[in-house]
Structures are given as C-alpha cells and as structure tokens.
Chains A and B, each alone.
Chain A
Amino acid sequence: MGATTPLGGDARSTWKALLAGESGISTINAEWVAKYELPVTFAGQAKVNAAEVLTPQEIKRLDPSSQFALIAAREAWADAGSPDVVPERLAVEYATGIGGVWTLLDAYDALKEKGPRRVLPMTIPMLMPNGPAAAIGMDIAARGGVRTAVSACASSTEAVANAIARLRSGEIDVVVAGGCEAGIHPLPIAAFAAMHALSKRNDNPAGASRPYDLNRDGFVMGEGAGALVLETEDHAKKRGAKIYAELVGGAVTSDAHHITAPDPEGTGAARAVTAALQQANAKPEDVVHINAHATSTPVGDIAEYTALLRVFGDHLGNIAVSATKSATGHLLGGAGAIEAIFTVLALHERTAPPTINLENQDPAIPLDVVTSPRTLPEGPILAISTSFGFGGHNAVIAFRSYQG
C-alpha cells in the first residue's frame, strides 16, 4: 500500500497521524486565495511536496494529480515487494474525480496571455483523466489493461471494485488500484463553494471537517493519492507476499435520482453494501467496522446513515464507524483509495481509527462513532468502506482479516 495525503507523505505516516488524532487541514498560503477573494481559504493540502519526491522532469511532465498517483503507486509497489508478474497479467485500475485541472487551466491562461504556440505540447496527456493510471502503468510495465473509473467522489472505491472483478475474471494476477486528486485550485474551490458544498469555517480549518457533528457545515477539499497492490490469493501465496487483508467484495450501484443530491431513502447505497457483502458470502452481522463516506455535509451524512440502517438494522449499533475525512479532508477521486488503506490497516492492526471534531453528535445519526483508536475483535473480522459521488454513484468494498 502507498499514499500521500494531508496527513503524511506515505501510508505509514498517514496512518500514524490518523491514529494520533491529527488534522491535515490548514489555511492555504497562495496568492490566489486573496486575489479571487475565495469564500473558503483552507484545505487538506498534501503534507509532502511532490517536488521533493519526484525528479524535475517527472514534475514537469505530469499533472499534480499524476505526481501524487506515481508517488503512492511506487510506495505500494515497493511495499508489495515489487512483485515479479507477467506484464500481460498486470493491470492498473486507477481513478480520479476531476483529472488534470491545474494543467488544463494553466494551459488556458497561457493561451489567453501568450497565444497558442505557448500551450505546452504535453497539455493533453497531462490533463486527461486517465493520465495518472497511464503514468503508473508505464512505471510498472502493466500490459494487462490500464483503466480509469471516473465517478466523482466514488471514483477510487469503484476502481477497487473494478480491480476485484478483473482478478476474479482470471485475466490478470495482479492489479494496482486506487485513485488521486489534485484539485486545490481556485476554480474547483469557487465552484464547490458556489454549490454550498464546502465548510466555510475559515477561522478554524482543523475543526472544519466534522462528520456527524450537529454543527457540520460542508466538506473540506483535500488532495493526494492512495494505491493498493491487489492480487489473487494463489499468486500472493506463491511468491510469499506480505498479506494485509483480503478484498472480498466490491460493488457499484447508481441512484438515478438527482445529479448531486443523495437519494434520501438510501436504497441505491444500501444495494451496494448488500451486493458487496453477498460477494463476500457474508451477513450484515459479520461487519465489525465501517470506514464511512461521511464527508461532513448536512445532507450526505444523514443519507448515508439511512442507507446503512436499511442494511444493518439493529446491528448498526454494534459497528465501530470511523469517519476519517474528519482528519484528511475529502480527497474526491483519491478518497476511496486512502479509506481502503485505512480499512485494511484497521483490520490488520485490529484498530479502528478515530473520527476527530465530533463534539455534539447529531441525534439524527446515532451511530457508534469511534472517537479514539478502538481495538477490534479477535478472529476473522469483516469491514467495509463506502463512497458516494455526484451523479448518484454508490461504491462499496469489503475486506476480511486474513487468516492465512
């Protein structure tokens, strides 16, 4: 596994900061915040600058979203022991929510200010949403198919769901899955703010992302990437791989309800949870931990609760729920990837990570929210991670602790 996030420059330091209850959210120190008088002045900015990790040429030829992706994927690949795989049986399922927004808008600025000849020839490959997946694919010589799920905030959970489907198809042995985002740019901030989706708690950035809190007022944009190396059990065992957990289900459904609002009945989201559990041959009662989508928006958090209640009923009160966007912010197309990593580590280390900033829990959402690291039960345990995106996308993945 690999990650670069507002909490740390790799998966391990991110996890450590998450368990310590740290916030990755801070004020943006860029001239454009004041220049455009942005209504939101903070975000979850990547803790480690990509330029400190990659070569100057990689920085020059990759959009920031692809830079994050490559950093996370290289860490994941090294962590997995750089598996020896037949390239034709190695795939990439790597998502983004928006794509190369910095590249696109910088190029437009160059066009307006200096003319078409000053638009860099690398503009198209840098801005295309499959750019991050392609960069990873070239880096590890994946010739078994490189694909990009684009489903807003559900993107990278959908990518992991796609990965398990490909592994089960028998066509491939190993896949690098995950997602990235680098959207902390004045335009996406202005646009998300225009739809009143963002928290405006400018005076308290670290306290702004507060899922399930009565005083939550929107999500906090984050940036970064996460990557997981997933492989068939046979392949992993044969090469003596370090196995963190077993991916046992991945399902995608859609609401066809509203372009941005979640279905208040939560039926589509509930179907995704149920389908993921069915793939895992599991019952709702088997689930001990949920890494919830929980973005800290007034409507979204309740809609998710409604959906979970639909599936889990009375058992929901027994499930340790973590809303890790409280610490990382919302990485959009990278959110599901880092939350998949958190879910895997929660199982592997038998510790559910904390939700920070929960001061007055919304009585309409009576979940058992984990607010300080909590030990999970012994024996085989199951956890899920949920993601929902504008467009009515629901994606859910299920992991089981690995018993060998």
Chain B
Amino acid sequence: MALSQSEVLAGLAEIVNDETGIAADAVQLDKSFTDDLDIDSISMMTIVVNAEDKFGVKIPDEEVKNLVTVGDAVNFITNAQ
C-alpha cells in the first residue's frame, strides 16, 4: 500500500536524521537539501540509496539533481510508489 505524502516525509526525515544528525522536525517540504540543510553530495547519495530501500522505489542518478527541496523528493517518492 502506498504511503501518504506525510508518511513519506516522516520516513525521509528519519533517514536524513540518521545520516546527518539534522533534527527530523527540521526536515520540511520547503527546505533545500543543500542551501537550508547543508547536506553535501556524498550524504545526499547515501540518503537516496537508503530512501530506495525504505520506500521500495528507484531514484535514478539523473533524477537526483532535480530533487532540490525535501518536497521534490517526497513528491518523487510518493509518485514512484
């Protein structure tokens, strides 16, 4: 069963927190991964791979550069389920 947008956000926030230590409640839809959350490309790749495992989706490498905000990622994952 597909997860709702808020469930995906919560799951993604958990992954981000686990990888970077950023508080889960700071991971909000309008936040930019690089500009607001200061996540580097290496952490981003780890987050992507962990998200693929957690949500059972494929996030192609060429798609990752389009995931600027947390909302972009949540929408991509929600639609890809």
Residues of A within 8 A of B (CB): 55-57, 60, 117-118, 120-122
- For B41, list chain A residues within 8 Å (CB): 121
Beta-carbon contacts under 8 Å, B37-59 to A: 41-42, 45-46, 49
Instruction: Give the distance in Å from the alpha carbon of A55 to the alpha carbon of B19 in the complex.
Output: 11
- For A60, list chain B residues within 8 Å (CB): 19
- For B18, list chain A residues within 8 Å (CB): 56
> Once the chains bind, are A122 and B46 in contact (CB under 8 Å)?
yes
> Once the chains bind, are B49 and A118 in contact (CB under 8 Å)?
yes
- For B46, list chain A residues within 8 Å (CB): 120-122
Across the A-B interface, how many residue pairs have beta carbons closer than 8 Å?
Answer: 16
Assuming the contacts A56-B21, A57-B20, A57-B21, asked whether A122 and B42 have C-beta atoms less than 8 A apart, the reply is yes
- For B20, list chain A residues within 8 Å (CB): 57
* Interface residues of B, count at CB 8 A: 9
Instruction: Give the distance in Å from the alpha carbon of A357 to the alpha carbon of B49 in the complex.
Output: 51
- For A57, list chain B residues within 8 Å (CB): 19-21
Nearest to A117 among chain B residues (CB) is: B49
Give the Cβ gap from B46 to chain A, nearest Cβ, in Å: 6
* Per-residue interface assignment for chain B, residues 17 to 32, with 1 indicating a CB less than 8 Å from any chain A CB and 0 otherwise: 0111100000000000
Interface of A is mostly: helix
Nearest to B52 among chain A residues (CB) is: A117
Instruction: Give the distance in Å from the alpha carbon of A60 to the alpha carbon of B20 in the complex.
Output: 9
- For A122, list chain B residues within 8 Å (CB): 42, 46
Give the Cβ gap from A59 to chain B, nearest Cβ, in Å: 11
> Once the chains bind, are B19 and A121 in contact (CB under 8 Å)?
no
Q: List 14 extra interface pairs beyond A60-B19, A117-B49, CB under 8 A.
A: A55-B21, A56-B18, A56-B21, A57-B19, A57-B20, A57-B21, A118-B49, A120-B46, A121-B41, A121-B42, A121-B45, A121-B46, A122-B42, A122-B46
Nearest to A122 among chain B residues (CB) is: B42
Instruction: Give the distance in Å from the alpha carbon of A57 to the alpha carbon of B18 in the complex.
Output: 8
Nearest to B53 among chain A residues (CB) is: A118
Instruction: Give the distance in Å from the alpha carbon of A120 to the alpha carbon of B45 in the complex.
Output: 8
Rank and list the top 8 A-B pairs by shortest CB-CB distance, nearest first.
A57-B21, A121-B45, A121-B42, A122-B42, A121-B46, A120-B46, A117-B49, A57-B20
- For B21, list chain A residues within 8 Å (CB): 55-57
- For A120, list chain B residues within 8 Å (CB): 46
Instruction: Give the distance in Å from the alpha carbon of A60 to the alpha carbon of B18 in the complex.
Output: 9
Instruction: Give the distance in Å from the alpha carbon of A121 to the alpha carbon of B46 in the complex.
Output: 7
- For A118, list chain B residues within 8 Å (CB): 49
